[in-house]
Amino acid sequence: MTRMTIPIGPQHPALKEPLSFLLTVEGEYVIDSSLRLGYVHRGLERLCQERTYVQNVHVLERVCGICSHVHSTAYCQGVEALTELEIPPRALYLRTLLCELERIHSHMLWLGVLAELIGFTTIFMYTWRDREIVLDIMEEFSGGRVAHAVNLVGGVRVDVEQEHARSILTRLDDLAQQVDTFLDMIQHERTFQARTRNVGHLSVEQVHRYCVVGPVARASGVDVDMRRDAPYAAYDQLDFQVITAQQGDVWARTMVRSLETIESLHICRQLLQNLPSGDLTVRAPRRVPAGEVVSRAEAPRGEVIYYIRSDGSDKPARIKIRTPTLTTLITLPDQLRGVNTADVPTVLAGVDLCIACADR
Amino acid sequence: MMDINAVVEALRQLYPNQDIKPRTVPVADTFINLPPDCVHAATALLMDRFDVYHLSTITGQDTDHGIELLYHFWDGRGLTLRTRLPRAERAKGEPGEAPVIATLTDLIPGAAFYEREIWEMLGVDFQGHPNLSLFLLPEDWDDAPPLLAQTPGAAVSEDEADCSSPNDNQNEKLEDQESKQ
């Protein structure tokens, strides 16, 4: 059969972000693929070297348009470790709260995108409608739906009053009911399962070979989660499960992310019900003592790692960011090999790509 | 979780002539300095003897001591292998002159993107890498690697401005900058 090479992207039908793919197909089946990034590369690592530690909180929130808060969290806790600041418990709880709200938002958005790509528009409409609940909560909390600017080096900027916390808890209960409904729908919808089972398979060995992180690794049975393995913020005081599955396909990833959404709602309840009292910030020096730090956090897509080196001035000498999407992008040629072209969008969506993250 | 003391002991046995000193780095990391030609074997040792398979990323940075590479491993806690390469006379496109180190992609295929990024951002040649081609930079990029300290746009110290720069064009730009100052 004749082989054809099809360029897909940078602007393409499956994703809203630019990514360039070169698919080699034989008939209807993909036999090889390669990819190229850089269409939203903004040079953020270099930019950070030109900005002060205070300004960089806001620069680094722009790494990702979905999980902006986890980036500033990883950065701030790195700088706080360098300056040896003791962060008030209330600030750590509020930081963690926004991390989990963001995870709920990201996972619901992802479920909608996947559903739309496989033609299940009803779920897409429902998840994106109900995602508004969590977006509203985040907007009330921080003033922004996506870029929150809640973190400061030394604490957080905004507080949650007792009455507000009660109102959030009520709405989270509504959301929990909806998430249960979605879970029920996808588990009993045969079309959904037919489109996702045995598609985009990754084995445990492949996860190890490619150093994959986050829900994609967990869906292949690799039990990693920085929230439990390297507790940061308030995670050491919380009770939660790390969700794993064994199948390693898009179906397993759907289940892992959906069940994680329920766990995140559970974490949010614990945080709001047990908010410690006290200050929101401690005073942070403008100049950071010379030294280096490696800071890790669990973004909705997996481990985020920041390496920060200070030369003792008010600007970092180097900030290195590794976002989780880079670890899953590299598995795509393996996942796509032998896949029917109609399943290519499902595979792409299955790993939950965030191209702006990967490009920085 | 990996036992850092056991790792250090194993590395000392592997390289008895090297002075291997672990250094604790916040938040939960240990840094170990190694010469460039030891990194590949040390990684193989980590994988074979300690089941460390997760390379979080590789950081490349241009420092006063040359180009530094930091291999951030993770297994319940962090372990970073740090190595230093001499800075390039001409950083890009000329084999033999760029800083050189062996690739890790034969051991850890997941290192491919990280090495490719360091190649284009700092001009380090990873020998044996399957595909060192532009990854994040524009296709028509023909300037010096952008994360090198002497590349225009960086804070250029006077010492560094005197160093030989990646190409002539760049020298002019640097002179322009100096004349403005």
DSSP A203-249: -HHHHHHTT--HHHHHHTT----HHHHS--TTGGG---PPP--SS-S
Residues of each domain in chain B carrying CATH 3.30.460.80: 4-142
pLDDT at A91: 93
Q: Does B110 touch chain A (CB under 8 A)?
A: yes
Interface contact B135, partner A, CB < 8 A: yes
Question: Mean pLDDT, to the nearest integer, of B157-167?
Answer: 40
Rounded-to-integer distance, Cα A146 and Cα A148, Å = 6
Judge whether residue A273 has pLDDT over 60.
yes
Rounded distance between C-alpha atoms, residue A63 and residue A44, angstroms: 7
What's the pLDDT at B89?
Answer: 57
pTM of the model: 0.86
Residue A13 binned pLDDT confidence (cut-offs 50, 70, 90):
low
**In whole angstroms, what is the distance from residue A257 CA to residue A110 CA?**
9
Q: Which fold has domain A3-359?
A: Cytochrome-c3 Hydrogenase; chain B (1.10.645)
B contact test, residue of A36, A40, A211, A218 with most B CBs within 10 A: A211
Name the residue with tokens 């950081």.
Answer: B59
Query: What top-level class would CATH report for the domain B4-142?
Result: alpha beta
Of A212, A213, A293, the CB nearest to B26: A293
Mean pLDDT, chain A, as a whole number?
Answer: 89
Q: What is the mean pLDDT of residues A307-321?
A: 90
User: Which of A212, A320, A327 has the CB atom closest to B59's CB atom?
Assistant: A320
Q: If you average pLDDT over residues A246-270, what whole number do you get?
A: 93
Q: Per the CB < 8 Å rule, is A230 touching B114? A: no
Contact between B108 and A211 using a beta-carbon 8 Å cutoff: yes
B114:A307 CB<8 A: no
Q: Report yes or no: A210 at the B interface, CB cutoff 8 Å.
A: yes
Three-state SS string across A197-214, please? CCCCCCCHHHHHHCCCCH
Q: Which residue, among B2, B51, B61, would best test binding to A if mutated, counting the most A CBs under 10 Å from its CB?
A: B61
Which pLDDT tens digit goes with each residue over A94-151?
A: 999 999 999 999 999 999 999 988 888 898 999 999 999 999 999 988 888 888 889 9
**How many degrees, rounded to 5, is the angle at CA A100 between CA A96 and CA A105?**
145
Confidence of residue A286 (pLDDT cuts 50, 70, 90): confident
Q: Nearest CA to CA, how far is A163 from chain B (Å)?
A: 35
ipTM reported for the complex, 2 dp: 0.88
Residue A297 has a pLDDT of 93
pLDDT tens-digit profile of A26-63?
988 998 888 888 888 888 988 888 889 999 999 999 88
Name the residue among B25, B55, B134 with its Cβ closest to that of A292.
Answer: B25
Query: What are the structural domain ranges in chain A?
Result: 3-359
A192: nearest Cα among A128, A120, A249: A120
Instruction: Give residue B155's pLDDT.
Output: 42
Res A346 pLDDT > 70: yes
Which of A78, A82, A305 lies closest to B57 in CB terms? A305
Q: Is the Cβ pair A43, B59 closer than 8 Å?
A: no
The rounded distance, in Å, linking the Cα atoms of A59 and A64 is: 10
Provide long-range contacts, Cβ within 8 A and 24+ apart, for A112-120. A113/A349, A114/A196, A114/A250, A114/A254, A114/A346, A114/A349, A114/A350, A115/A192, A117/A14, A117/A345, A117/A346, A117/A348, A117/A349, A118/A191, A118/A192, A118/A195, A118/A196, A118/A345, A118/A346, A119/A195, A120/A189, A120/A191, A120/A192
Note whether A228 contacts B: Cβ–Cβ < 8 A: no
